Amino acid sequence: MNSWPAAGPNPSLAAGLAPAPDCNRKLIRYQGVDMSNVTLGGNAIEVAGKFPQAGDKAPAFSLVGKDLKDVSLADFAGKRKVLNIVPSLDTPVCQASARKFNEAASGLANTVVLTISADLPFAMGRFCTAEGLANVVPLSTMRGAEFKGNYGVDIKTGPLAGVTARAVVVLDENDTVKYSQLVPEIKNEPDYDAALAALK
């Protein structure tokens, strides 16, 4: 089973960062692009895009399902949605979050859990089948790379550059954000209790 690689900061990029006028606690701006800082093993990495906040309308997306068909946000219209965004289901923490949300989903009415990563759809499908994760819909960014920037989870620096940061976004039936967390340390699991509380 894979383990997380060591990460190092990117001094050349960090030197050019300037605060955005409307920044939140970790939101910064670099060359006109919204950026957030998270860590990997305590080392800072930069994540591009504006991360959705409570009250925002969720951006539309098109991702790839395990059968290689395109899947859009509109396909889940009228349902509450938990977007469990992870770097890769080939790592223990990502696997743990998929299992946890799968378990929780069995008791949630009118709710679908979408686990989203940069993994190939085949790999995601194999994992979910092997683990019996019947309540999770695996979706890949394989043909939906714009999702990463639109949802503020596009890792730009460090050894995980190119994949998605760890995050949870909870949407209501009308695709309004009810809760969101960009997990500050990628090696840590998300705050399950807070995410699930938004669905009560």
Q: What is the CATH number of the domain that holds 103?
A: 3.40.30.10
In a domain? residue 11? no
In a domain? residue 76? yes
Question: Tens of pLDDT along 57-96?
Answer: 999 999 999 999 999 999 999 999 999 999 999 999 999 9
Region of poorest pLDDT, from 102-106, 111-115, 136-140, 184-188:
102-106
What average pLDDT is seen over the chain? Answer: 87
Residue 67 sits in which domain range? 51-197
In a domain? residue 18? no
The pLDDT of 31-49, averaged and rounded, is 87
- Give dist(CA 194, CA 115) in Å, integer: 17
Of all helices (H) and strands (E), which one includes residue 178?
strand 177-182
In a domain? residue 23? no
Q: Of 82, 94, 128, 155, which residue is the catalytic one?
A: 94
Q: How far is CA 107 from the centre of its chain?
A: 22
In a domain? residue 8? no
Q: What does each C-alpha distance from 53 to 9, 65, 71, 154 come to in angstroms?
A: 26, 26, 23, 16
The pLDDT of 115-125, averaged and rounded, is 95
> For strand 33-40 and strand 27-30, is the pairing parallel, antiparallel, or unpaired?
antiparallel
In a domain? residue 57? yes
Q: How far is CA 8 from the centre of its chain?
A: 21
In a domain? residue 21? no
Q: Which of 36, 13, 21 is nearest to 151 (CA)?
A: 36
Residue 13, pLDDT above cutoff 60: no
Residue 140, pLDDT above cutoff 60: yes
DSSP per-residue string spanning 104-143: HHTT-TTEEEEEEESS-HHHHHHHHHHHT-TTEEEEE-TT
Q: What is the count of structural domains for the chain?
A: 1
In a domain? residue 178? yes
Residue 163, pLDDT above cutoff 60: yes
Q: What is the CA radius of gyration of the chain?
A: 16
94 among known catalytic residues: yes
- Give dist(CA 32, CA 124) in Å, integer: 34
Output 65-72 pairs: Cβ under 8 A, ≥24 positions apart. Answer: 65/121, 65/137, 65/138, 65/139, 65/140, 66/121, 66/122, 66/124, 66/125, 66/128, 66/138, 67/121, 67/125, 68/121, 70/143, 71/137, 71/139
Strands (E), 27-97: 27-30, 33-40, 43-48, 62-64, 70-72, 80-85
